[in-house]
A and B are shown apart, each in its own frame.
Chain A
Amino acid sequence: MRSDLPLWPDQASAHASAVDILLYGFTGLIFALSVPVFILIIVFAVRYRRGRKVNRRHQVNRNALLEVSWSVIPFLLILCFFFWSAWLFFDLKHPPASALEIDVVAKRWMWKFQHPGGQGEIDELHVPVGEPVKLTMISQDVIHSLYMPALRLKQDVLPGRYTTMWFQADKPGIYRLTCAEFCGTNHSLMGGHFVVMAQQDYARWLQESGVDQTLAAQGETLFRTYGCSGCHSPAATVHAPSLDGLYGRPVALQGGETIIADEQYIRDSILLPQQQMAAGYPSIMPTFKNVLGEDDLTKIVAYIKSLKATQWREHP
């Protein structure tokens, strides 16, 4: 048995220390609200113990002002912490636009990380220090949850839907990452490490684990293999929308609504093409459900995201 007794987790980011400070402050308030109760109960139990001769004369058993004040004042104090904590939480939902984007696919019972340069790793994630990193995550099967205690961060990873999480680690080191949502037999084993590296070490690591193709280039290969290019290229005879510059653009749908073409929309349109049809096109695209796994989808989405708006035509 290891005899060390850690009492506080590592702090690997400014957010982690901000959360800890919030916890200290709130714990202080909690003690301020509860310790008097504990002390009074003990004092009363001793002082007014049955049989002891003390003055027990007291006023009527009702004091509305007192009761309202001991309900309202603690609540208002707690409310200050609510705003503090909500402010930290909202910050987590707004990744900086410049963030390094890494894709994550979870499946029972492993984590797969895809760097934009095409480097893939399993149960281990290398990130540069001092640079915002945005993880776009999806599950191949059940709900998982990526938990990085040293960053005080956790986000459920859902099947069928991208969720995101961002952080900026500022202390190089090796930290634990685990699955926090119960996912079946080997849940306890679904974890590994994330490695925060100095910028130059990260650059070297990328090179050493170098691959021939970037993620988008791997996606392009798949795009051809699965015949997507047959319809979606400018030269195609089939009447299909061009995908150049699609990412981030509003798309008019057949029902009359407009949707922003984000990762989710692109992924869903590959799997369920009839669901959100672009206006003005025949519904002839076959589904790629049960054909493409989430890893391949990630790559194709990365490819489509990389297409620049040179030849975009809103209405052909």
Chain B
Amino acid sequence: MTERHIPETDVEKVSYLRAGHSLRSWLLTTDHKRIAILYLYAVTFFFFIGGAAAALVRIELLTPGGDFLTNEGYNRTFTLHGVIMVWFFLIPSIPNTFGNFLIPLMIGARDLAFPRLNLLSWYIYLLGGTLTLYVLVAGGVDTGWTFYTPLSSMFANGNVVAATVAIFIAGFSSILTGLNFIVTIHTLRAPGMTWGRLPLFVWSHYATSLILVLATPILAITLALIAAERLFGIGIFDPSLGGDPLLYQHLFWFYSHPAVYIMVLPALGVVSELVAAAARKPVFGYWFVAFSSIAIAIIGFLVWGHHMFVSGQSMYASAVFSFLSLAVAVPSGIKVYNWTATLYKGHISLDPPFLFAMSFIGLFVFGGLTGLILAMLAIDVHVHDTYFVVAHFHYIMVGGTVSAFFGALHFWWPKITGREYIMVWGRLTAIFIFLGFNLTFFPQYLLGYLGMPRRYHIYDPSFQVLHVMSSLGASLLGVAYVLPFTYLFYSLRYGKPSPPNPWGVTGLEWTTPSPPPKQNFDQIPVVTTGPYDYPVEMEDRR
């Protein structure tokens, strides 16, 4: 390979990346594209912090004894992993980076509706994140990311209050971003960009934003109540003070179950774009896919009780929640079947982004269907709070959302940076992630059904073989996650300049130069066609 520095192209000279070189021009920017880059750095940082905690957990679990971390140390480590990954990676990952970068470009706008609010949202996120990290590393919190009461409010001996304050602060970042997206999608669509012409990525972000705005305040209230009980002894959750511990679980899951959809809906939007681009075909059943996002957002608010089948909740309530949890699978199923139908008679490319999309579909389907197993009342009684649950949500969150995140990164990288990366490395990464992921998490389904409880670091020796397999898979997965940093950074300096539309796909973002200029469009485009307006039967007309 010849190492030569490709000089800046004319396009790059006027791009948003070159619109100012000072640190100040980045830290005080109101350009949605630059803020997206700021978010990309920040979420990547937190992803590796959370990943480091996961590595400690997997090392500890290599042996059935507690020989690497102390009991307290292990509890603090998995709490750190959960808190950082959920609130500081998964929730902001796709919306705040790719959503931020792409929504204005996709709808033909120059920026989000409230550019300064967008920057504020990043600073709030950073403040919350830094504070959380400090609290978790310096003092430690040992409640798990779920903060169940009365353990968290009356018994845990860590910095629970400080952690709740930090997450409380970070929540405002979510609310501001959600609000910004909703207003932007309503008011800043280009002429002719009707709701029926919105890319499905935008629809799924619209649904996500509704959840962000409606659910996050519930989390804030719940965290404030924990702090009130812990600091002032106000009896809300602890029965010895006259409170009800299950009230906490209702409040927490009323936020946290919809939050699962905050994490996965943007991924579903990414995959809809990737599948259409891979097949160069309109998405099959556009309206079904678009409205399935809205349906998921609505039904997602009605299923929280499926986390509480063995909590002592009324069995009739459990039956209703079980039924609704099965119902929420319908819109997800629609998406998967429609993606498959989109591929039918397409012109399918297996470039890296599309491999990530295929691997997403496989892992998401498997994770989703094992979620149905968990929604079955009698089976959940056995596998609740075991590694079966751990495996299930990692299939959705890591197999699903993280795969989609990498898919998005590989798809829009030429647009964001103006450079092309080496394809073969991207393909290898996609395959390594798929293999490493399955080796890590499939054994955990078996562990769960065998009866290995979660949050245990001292376990029955009969579980060891499966734990060792899982830890080996995690090392492969770790390597696969680091791999993109090499060839993507390499492309920044040595990659070929990207044309405006390297994949040959539809979408307003591909009509701008790569990278786009600061103002996105010289003239606001007038939209006259649907989002996936590919010629039917392109080269095969007979």
Contacts and interface: CB of A to CB of B under 8 A. Distances in A.
Instruction: Name the residue in A79, A161, A181 with the highest tally of chain B Cβ atoms < 10 Å from its Cβ.
Output: A181
B365 A56 contact: no
Interface residues of A, number: 86
Secondary structure class of chain B's binding surface, majority of residues: helix
Contact of B350 (A45, A142, A160): A45
B326 A90 contact: no
B156 interface: yes
A3 B333 contact: no
Contact of A22 (B142, B376, B537): B376
Nearest to B461: A2
Instruction: Name the residue in A51, A61, A93, A150 with the highest tally of chain B Cβ atoms < 10 Å from its Cβ.
Output: A61
Nearest to A75: B330
Contacts of B376: 22, 26, 81-82, 85
Contact of B343 (A41, A79, A145): A41
B148 A159 contact: no
Contacts of A50: 280, 347-349
Contact of A86 (B150, B322, B345, B464): B322
A196 to B, nearest CB: 16
A235 interface: no
B386 interface: yes
A137 to B, nearest CB: 10
Interface stretch (A172-180, A201-209, A211-219, A276-284): A172-180
Interface string B239-263: 1100001100000000000000000
B476 interface: no
Interface stretch (B34-42, B115-123, B221-229, B445-453): B445-453
Given A30-B373, A143-B245, A154 B378 contact: no
B381 interface: yes
Contacts of A181: 148, 385
A180 B343 contact: no
Nearest to A55: B540
Contacts of B326: 75, 78-79, 82
A2 B344 contact: no
B200 interface: no
Contacts of B66: 188
Nearest to A4: B462
Contact of A159 (B71, B238, B315): B238
A58 B344 CA distance: 9
Interface string A21-35: 011001100100110
Interface in A45-69: 45, 48-51, 53-58, 61-63, 66-67
A145 B312 CA distance: 10
A54 B537 CA distance: 10
A185 B158 CA distance: 11
B464 A45 contact: no
A227 interface: no
Interface string A164-193: 000000000000101111111111110000
Contacts of A160: 239-240, 245
A302 B323 CA distance: 38
A299 to B, nearest CB: 20
A48 B450 contact: no
Instruction: Name the residue in B245, B454, B458 with the highest tally of chain A Cβ atoms < 10 Å from its Cβ.
Output: B245
Given A67-B334, A154-B381, A61 B284 contact: yes
B447 to A, nearest CB: 10
Contacts of A40: 340, 343-344
B358 interface: yes
A154 B366 CA distance: 25
B465 A3 contact: yes
Contacts of A236: none
A6 B377 CA distance: 25
Interface string B320-340: 001100110110011011101
A70 interface: yes
B453 A147 contact: yes
Contacts of A57: 345, 537, 540, 542
Given A9-B449, A67-B288, A34 B369 contact: yes
Nearest to A137: B312
B385 A147 contact: yes
Contacts of A185: 71-72, 75, 142
B384 interface: yes
**Band of interface residues on B:** 35 or more
B462 A2 contact: yes
A154 B344 contact: no
Contacts of A56: 345-347, 537-538, 540
B460 interface: yes
Contacts of B146: 182
Contacts of A150: 451
A156 B310 contact: yes
Contacts of B446: 7
B377 A88 contact: yes
Contacts of A62: 284-285
A152 B381 contact: yes
Given A142-B150, A184-B75, A49 B348 contact: yes
A81 B500 CA distance: 51
Contacts of A176: 451, 460
Contacts of B154: 142
B311 interface: yes
Nearest to B63: A1
A153 interface: yes
Contacts of A142: 148, 150-151, 154-155
A248 to B, nearest CB: 21
Interface in A78-122: 78-79, 81-82, 85-86, 88-90, 92-93, 108
B486 to A, nearest CB: 27
Nearest to A153: B381
A18 B6 CA distance: 67
A92 B382 CA distance: 12
A92 B315 CA distance: 10
Nearest to A58: B345
10 contacts: A8-B450, A57-B540, A58-B536, A82-B376, A89-B309, A89-B381, A145-B385, A178-B451, A188-B456, A189-B71
Given A159-B238, A182-B151, 15 more contacts: A2-B464, A33-B369, A34-B365, A37-B365, A40-B344, A45-B358, A48-B347, A61-B283, A62-B284, A142-B155, A147-B451, A149-B451, A159-B240, A182-B454, A183-B151
Interface of A: 1-9, 18-19, 22-23, 26-27, 30, 33-34, 37-38, 40-41, 44-45, 48-51, 53-58, 61-63, 66-67, 70-71, 74-75, 78-79, 81-82, 85-86, 88-90, 92-93, 108, 141-143, 145, 147, 149-150, 152-156, 158-161, 163, 176, 178-189, 289
Interface of B: 63, 66, 71-72, 74-75, 142-144, 146, 148, 150-151, 154-156, 238-240, 245-246, 279-286, 288, 309-312, 315, 318-319, 322-323, 326-327, 329-330, 333-334, 336-338, 340-341, 343-350, 358, 361-362, 365-366, 369-370, 372-373, 376-379, 381-382, 384-386, 446, 449-451, 453-462, 464-466, 468, 536-538, 540, 542
